Amino acid sequence: MDSALSDPHNGSAETGGAANGTTRPPSTPEGIALAYGSLLLMALLPIFFGALRSVRCARGKNASDMPETITSRDAARFPIIASCTLLGLYLFFKIFSQEYINLLLSMYFFVLGILALSHTISPFMNKFFPANFPNRQYQLLFTQGSGENKEEIINYEFDTKDLVCLGLSSIVGVWYLLRKHWIANNLFGLAFSLNGVELLHLNNVSTGCILLGGLFIYDVFWVFGTNVMVTVAKSFEAPIKLVFPQDLLEKGLEADNFAMLGLGDIVIPGIFIALLLRFDISLKKNTHTYFYTSFAAYIFGLGLTIFIMHIFKHAQPALLYLVPACIGFPVLVALAKGEVTEMFSYEESNPKDPAAVIESKEATEASALKGLEKKEK
């Protein structure tokens, strides 16, 4: 999991060009400002729209759009799993040929990227289809076992419009596979980020604090303590980071001196911000105080990361600044409003949990009975 913000301009994490040892001309102040301003904007888009879509996702009944709920146990194990994965990738790049590893990874992320981008653009594309468009429904269902022991492995519902979106996404996929262009990389990266914020749900605020706290330590250790994360970020030719060229003004779309931001710095704080939006809605006060507070905290934290990196000329673990901001600001607001208890007692059930499904059905039936009783009266 890559979650370092790097500045190739200073030589700490060079990701493009100059691989033959040639020195780069220094980036202009305008180019640097454009690059980091663009990275900040690109980071905000999937968080904002992913959080909004997470609300619809939590209320949805379509099995293909069910969110994956992260529990406190998952959150505690995640930094360990991420560390093992990162170290494994580092060793792979040291032992085996980087060319063949990246070829396999390119094919893997080619498929994932197409699916993620298709899912991302589908709601927007639906507005452009004419009313008489021949739309047919399909279902992809894989099960194992039989009778009472039958268990669903995959249950995905889609339609003709989704297939059109899949075709359009495949064009971007081929472009990325053949050219590895930074725009195609960013389209996939934004799609991965938005899908992550939309479909990964924390079950409560305490779980979010455990996850962010654990990855805070993970990020600081692997960036400041070793060169592992920066080395993997440089070697890993996959859309797991957003990039923007600092020499765009000089070279145009063929620019190659990139600043980069790992997707972990977007998705991890993003799922916490999305949780606070759903908490806002649960309060039924028609305000989104905690969402806007945490969103502003993210802007502050990422801006501070960029500033510190520019001052010290060294790659920075962005979560070092994002985690205290994204947790601290909303908690301070809750203290001021006297809603700390409500914040930490807010709980979301796992829609895939059979017990949660039964509970939801019982609640729906109870609500329907109350409605009938009112009509009879």
Known catalytic residues?
A: 219, 265
Beta bridge partners of 243: 260
User: Distance between CA 206 and CA 211 in Å, rounded?
Assistant: 9
Nearest to 261 by CA among 6, 1, 47: 6
What separation in angstroms does the CA of 198 have from each of 50, 54, 375?
Answer: 5, 4, 38
Do 270 and 46 contact (CB within 8 A), yes or no? yes
Phi, psi of 70 (to 5 degrees): -95, 125
Do 244 and 273 contact (CB within 8 A), yes or no? no
User: Distance between CA 207 and CA 203 in Å, rounded?
Assistant: 7
The backbone region for 147, taken as left when phi is positive above 0, alpha when psi lies in -120 to 50, beta otherwise, is left
What separation in angstroms does the CA of 183 have from each of 91, 168, 179, 210?
Answer: 29, 15, 10, 34
The H helix count followed by the E strand count for the chain is 13, 8
Angle at 236 between CA 316 and CA 6, to 5 degrees: 20
Tell me how far the alpha carbon of residue 165 is from its chain's centroid.
20
Share in percent of the chain as helix, strand, coil (round to 5): 70, 10, 20
Do 256 and 22 contact (CB within 8 A), yes or no? no
Query: In 201-288, which residue ranges form alpha helices assigned H by DSSP?
Result: 205-220, 228-235, 248-251, 264-283
